[in-house]
Chains A and B, each alone.
Chain A
Amino acid sequence: DAKTTQPTSMDCAEGRAANLPCNHSTISGNEYVYWYRQIHSQGPQYIIHGLKNNETNEMASLIITEDRKSSTLILPHATLRDTAVYYCIVRPMNSGGYQKVTFGTGTKLQVIP
């Protein structure tokens, strides 16, 4: 898996948009960008993924740069329950083979009242 770089921590005011950046400059053409989060004492939770187009779901939006070397996860209206560690991961398209996923250190997002 390509490596990713994320800030160690970020703060965001409750109700504001949280923008979490991720650099993946060595990403390959067949690799997706995935985002997960881990709320304290829980298992990681899948948020969203994308290949090259921007994606949006009920949880978040994912903006991928045109060169695909970086991306931003956007939580449009952060709440206290969004306080968690957010992991950005790149992994190959599922070819039916081995699907190892490597987690980096992630970004600890603290939503402040």
Chain B
Amino acid sequence: SAVISQKPSRDICQRGTSLTIQCQVDSQVTMMFWYRQQPGQSLTLIATANQGSEATYESGFVIDKFPISRPNLTFSTLTVSNMSPEDSSIYLCSVVGREGPDTGELFFGEGSRLTVL
């Protein structure tokens, strides 16, 4: 299994500001995924972050709002830009536990709970 650490675990932010969430994995992984979980809702994939290439964003999410960095195989950041109260959510980092055929279970960090006032 992969151990994933996220920082911050929670934060309260002011409208209009930006916050960067860090995700550190204890092993090298090709793909990392960022999810959002709005209050009382399921998880929604924001983007897939591959090392050495631009992140791939899902419909409804854009790079200007959620810029992602992936400088190496164990680390990624997600920035939530120009925040509004609607961005209040838990943001989760995820990786595939093993890579190759017949694999694919995801491992998640504990999440970063953002509250925007």
Contact = CB atoms under 8 A, between A and B. Distances in A.
A38 B99 CA distance: 23
A23 B43 CA distance: 19
B73 to A, nearest CB: 16
Contacts of A49: 104-105
Interface of B: 4, 31, 33, 35, 42-45, 48, 56, 58, 92, 94, 96-97, 99-111, 113
Q: For the complex, would chain A's binding face be called helix, strand, loop or mixed by DSSP majority?
A: loop
A100 interface: yes
Contacts of A91: 104
Contact of A43 (B44, B100, B102, B109): B109
Nearest to B4: A43
Nearest to B96: A99
Given A43-B92, A103-B42, A94 B106 contact: no
A98 B103 CA distance: 13
Contact of A103 (B43, B96, B107): B43
A106 B101 contact: no
8 contacts: A32-B104, A34-B105, A41-B113, A45-B108, A46-B107, A94-B96, A96-B100, A104-B42
Contacts of A96: 100-101
Nearest to B107: A46
Given A43-B92, A46-B97, A94-B99, A101 B42 contact: no
B42 A46 contact: no
B106 A46 contact: yes
A49 to B, nearest CB: 6
Given A43-B92, A93-B101, A101 B110 contact: no
